Chain A
Amino acid sequence: MSSPSSAPGRSSRALAITLTLGAASAILYLLLFLFADRLNELAAATRDGEKLYALIPLAVAMVFSFVHGAFTGHFWDLLGLRAKK
Chain B
Amino acid sequence: MENIQFIDLNLVSVLILFVVGFVGGMVSGFIGSGGAFVLTPAMMSMGVPGMVAVASNMAHKFPKALVGAHKRNKYGQVDIKLGLVMGLFAEFGVLFGKHIMVGIKESFGAAGTNLYVSFVFVVVLAIVGGMVLRDAIRERRGERIGTQSAGPSKLVQRVRRIIIPGTMVHLKSVDARVSFLVIAPLGFATGLLAATIAVGGFIGVPAMMYILGLPAIMASATELVVAFVMGLGGSLFYALEGYVDIRLSMIILAGSLFGIQIGAIGTTYVKDHVVKFVMAAIMLLVLVSRFFYIPGYLSELGSIPALAPATIGWLDGIGQAALVFALLFGGVMILQALYQGIREHRAATLLAPAPQVIPVAAVAGGPQLSPLGRFERFLVASDGSDFSAAAVREAIGLARRCGAEVHLMSLIATGVEYEAMGTSILKQEIAIAQAHLDEIRGQAVAAGVRCETHLIQGSNVHQEICDLAEQLNVDLIVMGRRGRRGLARMMLGHATAQVIGLAHCSVLVVPRAAHIEARRLLLATDGSRFAEAAAITAGSLARACGAPMTVLSVTTESHGPERRALAEQVVARVLAHLRGEGIAADGQVLQGEPSECVIGLAREREVDLIVTGSHGRTGLERALLGSTSERILNATPCAVLVTKAG
Which residues of chain A have a CB within 8 Å of any CB of chain B? 1-3, 6-7, 25, 29, 32-33, 36, 39-40, 43-48, 51, 54-58, 60-62, 64-66, 68-69, 71-73, 75-77, 81-85
Question: Measured between alpha carbons, how far is A43 from B559 in the docked complex, in Å?
Answer: 62
A residues near B232, Cβ cutoff 8 Å: 58
Contact A51 B240 (CB under 8 A): yes
Contact A65 B456 (CB under 8 A): no
Known: A61-B60, A61-B63. A32 touches B250 (CB 8 A): yes
Contact A57 B470 (CB under 8 A): no
A residues near B260, Cβ cutoff 8 Å: 72
Contact A65 B254 (CB under 8 A): no
Question: Measured between alpha carbons, how far is A62 from B66 in the docked complex, in Å?
Answer: 10
Q: A55-B236, A69-B64 provided; 5 other pairs, C-beta below 8 A?
A: A2-B504, A43-B242, A43-B244, A64-B60, A65-B64
Contact B269 A84 (CB under 8 A): yes
**B6 CB–A CB distance under 8 Å:** yes
B residues near A48, Cβ cutoff 8 Å: 242
Question: Measured between alpha carbons, how far is A44 from B6 in the docked complex, in Å?
Answer: 10
Instruction: Among A39, A72, A73, A84, point to the contact of B345 (Cβ < 8 A).
Output: A84
Question: Which 3 A-B pairs give the minimum distances between C-beta atoms?
Answer: A47-B242, A65-B63, A54-B239
What are 25 sample pairs from A and B whose C-beta atoms fall under 8 A apart?
Answer: A1-B473, A2-B473, A2-B504, A29-B250, A43-B245, A45-B242, A47-B241, A47-B242, A48-B242, A54-B240, A54-B242, A57-B59, A64-B60, A64-B253, A65-B60, A65-B257, A66-B63, A69-B63, A69-B64, A69-B416, A73-B459, A81-B262, A83-B264, A83-B414, A84-B269
**B457 CB–A CB distance under 8 Å:** yes
Contact B59 A6 (CB under 8 A): no
A residues near B6, Cβ cutoff 8 Å: 40, 43
Give the nearest-CB partner of A14 in chain B.
B463
B residues near A25, Cβ cutoff 8 Å: 254
Contact A36 B242 (CB under 8 A): no
Give the nearest-CB partner of A84 in chain B.
B268
**How far apart are B66's CB and chain A's nearest CB, in angstroms?**
8
Contact B236 A54 (CB under 8 A): yes
Contact B456 A58 (CB under 8 A): no
Question: Measured between alpha carbons, how far is A43 from B254 in the docked complex, in Å?
Answer: 21
**B249 CB–A CB distance under 8 Å:** yes
A residues near B504, Cβ cutoff 8 Å: 2-3, 6
Contact A32 B247 (CB under 8 A): yes
Contact A46 B456 (CB under 8 A): no
Contact A58 B458 (CB under 8 A): no
B residues near A69, Cβ cutoff 8 Å: 63-64, 67, 257, 416
Give the nearest-CB partner of B9 in chain A.
A36
Question: Measured between alpha carbons, how far is A77 from B253 in the docked complex, in Å?
Answer: 19
Give the nearest-CB partner of A25 in chain B.
B254
**How far apart are B230's CB and chain A's nearest CB, in angstroms?**
14
- Counting chain B residues whose Cβ lies within 8 A of the other chain, the interface size class is 35 or more
Contact A60 B341 (CB under 8 A): no
B residues near A85, Cβ cutoff 8 Å: 455-457
Contact B246 A57 (CB under 8 A): yes
B residues near A3, Cβ cutoff 8 Å: 470, 504
**B261 CB–A CB distance under 8 Å:** yes
Give the nearest-CB partner of B242 in chain A.
A47
Question: Measured between alpha carbons, how far is A29 from B250 in the docked complex, in Å?
Answer: 8
**B329 CB–A CB distance under 8 Å:** no
Interface 1/0 per residue, B57-71 and A, CB below 8 Å: 001101110010000
**B471 CB–A CB distance under 8 Å:** yes
B residues near A58, Cβ cutoff 8 Å: 59, 232, 235-236, 239
Give the nearest-CB partner of B249 in chain A.
A61
**B96 CB–A CB distance under 8 Å:** no
B residues near A83, Cβ cutoff 8 Å: 264-265, 268, 414, 457-458
Question: Measured between alpha carbons, how far is A1 from B358 in the docked complex, in Å?
Answer: 12
B residues near A72, Cβ cutoff 8 Å: 257-258, 260-261
Contact B235 A61 (CB under 8 A): yes
A residues near B249, Cβ cutoff 8 Å: 57, 61
Contact B345 A66 (CB under 8 A): no
Contact B470 A36 (CB under 8 A): no
Most chain A Cβ neighbours within 10 Å, of B250, B253, B265? B250
Contact A65 B414 (CB under 8 A): no
Instruction: Among A57, A62, A71, A76, point to the contact of B265 (Cβ < 8 A).
Output: A76
Question: Measured between alpha carbons, how far is A84 from B473 in the docked complex, in Å?
Answer: 22
Question: Measured between alpha carbons, how far is A25 from B253 in the docked complex, in Å?
Answer: 12
**How far apart are A81's CB and chain B's nearest CB, in angstroms?**
6
Contact A46 B242 (CB under 8 A): yes
Instruction: Among A45, A61, A77, point to the contact of B250 (Cβ < 8 A).
Output: A61
A residues near B264, Cβ cutoff 8 Å: 83
Question: Measured between alpha carbons, how far is A76 from B459 in the docked complex, in Å?
Answer: 12
Contact A57 B458 (CB under 8 A): no
B residues near A84, Cβ cutoff 8 Å: 265, 268-269, 341, 345, 457
**B415 CB–A CB distance under 8 Å:** yes
B residues near A73, Cβ cutoff 8 Å: 261, 415-416, 459
Instruction: Among A2, A57, A64, point to the contact of B235 (Cβ < 8 A).
Output: A57
Give the nearest-CB partner of A7 in chain B.
B470
Instruction: Among A29, A39, A64, A81, point to the contact of B261 (Cβ < 8 A).
Output: A81
